[in-house]
Amino acid sequence: MIVEAHAPNARDVKTAMSAFRQSVEAMIPALRRYARALTRDADAADDLVQDTLVRALRSERLFLGGDVRSWLYTILTNLNKNRRRSLARRPQFTQLTENNPDASGTEAEGRDIEKALATLVEEQRSVLLLVMLEGMSYREVADIQGVPIGTVMSRLARARAHVKASLEGERTALRRVK
């Protein structure tokens, strides 16, 4: 006995799909940047982007117009929440080359900002990066996180204060004993 289940109108939606697909594809570099800053781990970041893309392609039919960009960032942000929840149950990988004393000024600054990001709680880090790195409006970030704009603004203010304090701590650590 043979049972075949066909997708109802696979051919009809093909043209619409390719436009959808193009807009997804155009977002991959920015998604990678956001994921890298969010996780500060190249492999975990690309895993996250990969899962986001798989999820997006699978839900192609569920996407009824609107802003593909916000939608992708929403998927990625939610997947990252799940990832962090399951992190405790998995082996942890850390980079072997943590400190390079000969790092140039730019590299050292990059390390400082990475460390500063690490001090933030997840929601704050996400708001900070969406606004400052990805250039999203408060409204878009509120939609992505599913919270009111007021919450976005207070998270942003706290995130900026934390990062500022962390960066200042790095800079003065050698000169000053607290």
Partner 1 sequence: MNDHNIPVTEDELHAYVDGELPAERRADVEAWLAAHPEEAERVQSWRTMAEMLHARYDSVAQEPVPARLELERLERRPRQWLYGAAAAVLVAFVAGGTAGWVAHGAANAPSAFQSFTADALDAHRLYVVEVRHPVEVGGNERDHLQAWLTRRCGWTVFAPNLEASGLKLVGGRLLPGPNGPASFLMYEGASGERYTIYSAKTENGATQMRYARTDKDGALFWAERGVGYVVSGGGSDRERLTKVAQAVYDQAEKNGG
Number of residues that bind partner 1 (CB under 8 A): 47
Does position 112 bind partner 1 by CB under 8 A? Answer: yes
Quick one: which of 68, 131, 142, 144 contacts partner 1 (CB under 8 A)? 131
Closest approach of partner 1 to the CB of residue 112, in Å:
7
The one-letter amino acid code at 107 reads: E
Q: Which stretch binds partner 1 (CB under 8 A): 65-73, 81-89, 91-99, 126-134?
A: 126-134
Which residue number, 29 or 146, has a Cβ lying nearer to partner 1? 29
Give exposure, 67-95, as e/b (b: 16+ Cβ within 10 Å): ebbbbbbbbbbebbeebeeeeeeeeeeee
Cα 38 to chain centroid distance, Å, stands at: 5
Closest approach of partner 1 to the CB of residue 67, in Å:
18
String of contacts with partner 1 for each residue 53-72, x by CB under 8 A:
xx--xx-xx-----------
Quick one: which of 85, 106, 174, 177 contacts partner 1 (CB under 8 A)? 106
d(CA 99, CA 24): 36
| DSSP class per residue in 6-73 | --TTTTTTHHHHHHHHHHHHHTHHHHHHHHHHHHS-HHHHHHHHHHHHHHHHHTGGG--SS-HHHHHH
Does position 33 bind partner 1 by CB under 8 A? Answer: yes
Cα 52 to chain centroid distance, Å, stands at: 10
Quick one: which of 16, 19, 25, 67 contacts partner 1 (CB under 8 A)? 25
Q: Residue with structure tokens 């781990």?
A: 41
End-to-end CA distance of the chain: 78
Tokens of 83: 């990832």
Using CB under 8 A, list all residues that contact partner 1: 1-7, 10, 21, 24-25, 28-30, 32-33, 36-37, 45-46, 49-50, 53-54, 57-58, 60-61, 106, 109-110, 112-114, 129, 131-133, 137-138, 153, 156-157, 160, 163-164, 167
